[in-house]
Amino acid sequence: MEIITYDYQVDNISYSLNKYFDENTVFFDIECTGLSPRKSFIYLIGYALRLGNRITITQLLAKNESEELEIIEEFEKVMDSYSTLLGFNSTRFDESFIVERCRKYKFNTKIKSKHHLDMYLATTKAKCLLDLPNYKQKTIEEFLGLQREDKYNGGELIPVYQHYSLMEDKESKDLVLLHNYEDIKGMIYIADILSYTDLLTSDLRYISHEVIEEKLRFEVETDISLPSSINKIREYGIYIIKKNRIYVTLNLFNGTLFTFLPDHKNYYYLLNEEIIVPKSIGESIDKNCRRPATRRDCKVAAEGIFVSLPNGIDAGNIRTFKPDYDSKETYISVNDIREDILIK
């Protein structure tokens, strides 16, 4: 087994790096000779540790399969001192692969006892914001502006490693180490992608709003500053996110909508006038000209400019409107917009 160590300084510790890659966390990534842990083995485990602004990347390189258990045991010693693991697609692949290989050696790994955050799974929760073509590590690196020296993927490096293992070729060894090193350094860099997931559940603060030309424009802010801006056009309007500010422009509806009264049993529907009246008044009207009102009958029309509420938003005691009884869309008047509605 060979141990290779590098270290470098990070000038600015970002929000995500500070939150997710603290001094109790191990960033890690493995390289294997194939995708099946029953037919392949781990030939390289790379991991990173943080101490303040200093990042240390260590690589455990097995010359051949006979040294596989040795690098796993060395990584186990490292994990003993840390509470959290962090990786990319690491719960489904790296962790599972290590567990399966340890079964072969009847070695009791502690990896499943650690808190494990998989950046791939966390990032896919923010698909509604990111709209990336896929959520592979290199795609996220490009989105965040990282350019690699390494141009290979793990599969392409398998014959390169095999050549190194047989011939002890330095160039092949360097290519394998570079790929793993840039995978780990890249994962550290793209930890910032987790800020997009956090933004979905972050607290928002109202800044301002205005209605101009049948558009509602409002601005809110959050404590999370995004590394790259988001600009999305949707059917309902536009939203732009720059650093910690969110700018939203919503399309408004100008016309007639209806409020549906909840107590329809207290009304009659007048057949000739097509209106509802309270039962206290309707009792004096000919029975042939009235009938008990239904929920659909009990509506009050209103003219104005309205904004649609997203599904699940509770307007509280604000009067709400619909185009018709069966509509799933709910509106409020722009005159009733409040700060708390905009930040829900």
The pLDDT value given to residue 332: 94
Please give the backbone phi and psi of residue 81, each rounded to the nearest 5 degrees, phi first: -95, 5
Tens of pLDDT along 130-186? 989 999 988 998 899 888 776 677 788 899 999 999 999 999 999 999 999 999 999
Q: How far is CA 325 from CA 262, 316, 329, in A?
A: 12, 19, 10
Q: Cβ(137)–Cβ(19) under 8 Å?
A: no
Instruction: Report whether 46 contacts 180 (CB < 8 A).
Output: yes
Res 192 pLDDT > 90: yes
Beta-carbon contacts of residue 287 (< 8 Å; ≥ 6 apart): none
* Nearest Cα residue to 28 out of 149, 146, 102, 119: 119
Residue 343 has pLDDT above 90, yes or no: no
- pLDDT at position 4 is 98
Give tens-digit pLDDT for 199-223.
Answer: 999 999 999 999 998 899 999 999 9
54 C-beta neighbours (distance < 10 Å), count: 11
Return the residue matching tokens 């095999």: 162
- Bridge partners of residue 261, in order along the sequence: none
CA distances from 240 to 14, 229, 342 (A): 21, 7, 15
pLDDT in tens, 231-255: 999 888 999 999 999 999 999 999 9
Three-state SS across the chain? CEEEEEEEECCCCCHHHHHHCCCCEEEEEEEECCCCCCCCCEEEEEEEEEECCEEEEEEEECCCHHHHHHHHHHHHHHHCCCCEEEECCHHHHHHHHHHHHHHHHCCCCCHHHCEEEEHHHHHHCCHHHHCCCCCCHHHHHHHCCCCCCCCCCHHHHHHHHHHHHHHCCHHHHHHHHHHHHHHHHHHHHHHHHHHHHHHCCCCCEEEEEEEECCEEEEEEECCCCCCCCEEEEECCEEEEEECCEEEEEEECEEEEEEEECCCHHHEEEECCCCEEEEHHHHCCCCHHHEEECCCCCCEEEEEEEEEEECCCCCCCCCCCEECCCCCCCEEEEHHHCCHHHHCC
For residue 297 the two structure tokens come to 């009958």
Position 58 confidence tier, pLDDT thresholds 50, 70, 90: very high
Using the predicted structure, report yes or no on whether residue 344 has a pLDDT greater than 90.
no
Tokens of 266: 């207290």
pLDDT > 90: percent of the chain: 83
pLDDT at 150: 66
Sheet holding 2-9, edge to edge: 2-9, 54-61, 42-51, 25-32, 84-87, 115-118
Q: What does each C-alpha distance from 16 to 88, 116, 190, 221, 334 come to in angstroms?
A: 15, 16, 9, 17, 37
Would you give the distance in Å from CA 207 to the centre of its chain? 24
Taking only the tens place, the pLDDT of each residue in 262-303 is 899 999 999 999 999 999 998 999 999 999 999 999 999 999
Give pTM, 2 decimals: 0.82
With the C-alpha atoms ordered 179, 181, 187, 190, is the resulting torsion angle positive or negative? negative
What is the C-alpha to C-alpha distance for residues 122 and 88, in angstroms, rounded to an integer?
9
Q: What is the pLDDT of residues 73-104, one digit of tens each?
A: 999 999 999 999 999 999 999 999 999 999 99
**Domains assigned to the chain:** 2-196 (3.30.420.10), 204-261+298-344 (no CATH)
